[in-house]
Structure 1
């Protein structure tokens, strides 16, 4: 199956360096803000939930694009030393996201076999100069 990726480079954000555990949360929050803008403006999707939690984990965004529910995982990096952001979506993470999505569907009264949904990954990289790039992988897995 061919995967397509949509790449967009954003203007420099003028962000200070981020280090440490608390900073990792702010880095993630920054990436999620950029991803939300991407979903709303570029994809024209309606955000239904942010940071949906279940016993299986968390889904960064649940959105709707037409009749399709999107379960969106956002990964953000300020350095590529540990690899590309999207490489952090491991098989274990995918399985947790699948279980979490089924939990969401059940809690919200959707029937999994009667509902169109997909899993997207949005990878955000913020360079040292503050320039952000977004790679969106629709139907990533």
Structure 2
């Protein structure tokens, strides 16, 4: 798979995750927030709670699926990026980290994943 195909597949997975989460009542704030030290796929709100979301796509669960693809390093980068985002936007509110794991057959939404 070429890099462009991989990026398109990732974008489609993010779009699918966003549609799913909006159907669950979450509100999009921002997407694809990038800092030199980390990236946040989706930033949403559920009521007063800020939700930082990592979207993972895998074609199958053969090698553990999407959720197993999130390393401790990735978790640390996401936490750092979320902390920076909240500081930059003067947000003093409850937040959580969710994962939306997508494969060819299912969407799994894991709230408070880490």
**Same fold by TM-score, threshold 0.5 exceeded?**
yes
Give the Cα–Cα distance (whole angstroms) in 2 for the partners of residues 80 and 64 of structure 1: 29
Structure 2: how far apart are the matches of 1:54 and 1:108?
Answer: 14
TM-score computed with the length of structure 2 as normaliser? 0.94
The answer to whether residue 22 in structure 2 is matched with residue 29 in structure 1 is no
2:82 aligns to what? 101
1:122 matches 2:103: no
Gaps of 5+ in 2: none
Do 1:58 and 1:100's aligned partners in 2 also have CA atoms closer than 8 Å? yes
Aligned-residue CA RMSD (Å): 1.2
> What TM-score results when the alignment is normalised by the length of structure 1?
0.77
> Which structure would you say has the larger Rg?
1
Residue pairs, 1:1-141, within 5 angstroms: 19-41=1-23, 43-111=24-92, 115-126=93-104, 132-141=105-114
Which protein has the bigger helix share? 2
2-structure distance, mates of 1:46, 1:95: 24
Give the distance between the partners of 1:124 and 1:58, measured in 2 at CA: 18
**Number of aligned residue pairs:** 114
**Residues 74, 124 of structure 1: 8 Å contact kept:** yes
The gaps in structure 1 that reach 5 residues or longer are 1-18, 127-131
Once the 2 structures are TM-superposed, how far is the Cα of residue 107 of structure 1 from its aligned partner? 1.2
Q: In the alignment, is the contact (CA less than 8 A) between 1:57 and 1:96 conserved in 2?
A: yes
